[in-house]
Amino acid sequence: MLKDISTTIASRFVSGFQQPVAVRAFFRFLVAYTLIKTLLVWPLSRMVMEHHTITLPRSLPGKLLMAPSFLANYHVDVFIGLGILLMFVLLVVRQNYLGTLFFFWFTFNMYTVNLPFADGSDVVLFMLALWAVPMATLPSFKNEKVKIVQQACYNLAVLFCQLQVVYIYLVSGSDKLMSATWRSGLAFDYIRHLEVLYNPIIPAVLQSGTWNIVFSWGAILFEMAFVVLIWIRKTRIPIIIVGVLFHLGIWAVLSLPDFAMIMIVSYLIFLRDADYDALRQWIRRSPR
């Protein structure tokens, strides 16, 4: 029985490139997000590099990995300009190994360049970019054994990328659940005193102790529920919709658009080709 189960699981990962439309959409939205963010922070990146020098590692692998950052020490505009050009190309061409590898290379070095003001969204970005490397399907190898390995790497990368996103919610939700500050609602009271981040237009009626508890437990329950419900076919889309609203709420309350958007983009890795087919059919049926 165990042998049959293991055979079934193994065959699942070598039975072609699964959900290719959804995976390509995920990668293109990831590139588009990175392009927009890079353009917006370009002036800040230039300012940082005027007072910040990146030290090149001594090892050869380290030097190769950090070479773009070393370029930014002297020509930050050239570094960013090449990255922007790369992303425009990636939005046009089919997803391939060379392109995805260069994309990860750029996102990692962009994180290094922007380290003085980087946040969690930058870490999530280059981690998603790393998983996107084996999600490429070109070049497609004709040798049967090599093709099986290629398909297995592709499908496993999708799974591990999904697990990465789920892990973020699992750790965040668990930390909140174990924290008396979050369970009591005091966390949201503290958040309101973050004058640099907190949005003052939030209505006063939502700033009571009762609402603090509601918001705190709402965040805890969503994050813990996401870990389970995202894997169930009937609850996948509903929990994604709740997640989009959840992160838009964080954007509104704490003025953190980059983290909200990267998490929303990460949801695309959980979609299926059938979801895009249903969306296209809905658009065709909608009145014009």
CA 258 to chain centre: 10
d(CA 167, CA 171): 6
Say whether pTM exceeds 0.85: yes
Residue 209 is which amino acid? G
d(Cα 251, Cα 197) in Å, to the nearest integer? 10
pLDDT at res. 205:
47
Q: Assign 217 a pLDDT band (cuts: 50, 70, 90).
A: very high
- DSSP-derived secondary structure letter, 57: P
- pLDDT of residue 256 exceeding 50: yes
Q: How many CB atoms lie within 10 A of CB 99?
A: 21
Average pLDDT on 19-46 reads 96
At 224, list the tokens.
């813990």
Distance CA 259, CA 239 (A): 18
The SS3 assignment for 138 reads strand
- At what angle are helices 144-178 and 257-266 packed, to 10 degrees? 130
Residue 69 backbone class (left: φ over 0; alpha: ψ -120 to 50; beta: rest): alpha
**Lowest mean per-residue pLDDT among 104-118, 139-153, 186-200:** 186-200
CB 135 within 8 A of CB 20: no
Does 145 score more than 60 pLDDT?
yes
pLDDT of 203:
56
pLDDT given at position 231: 96
Residue 143, classified by CB atoms within 10 Å of its CB into exposed (0-12), middle (13-18) or buried (19+), is exposed
Q: In sequence order, what are the beta bridge partners of 138?
A: 96
Going from N- to C-terminal start, the domains of the chain cover 11-285
Maximum CA extent, the chain: 65
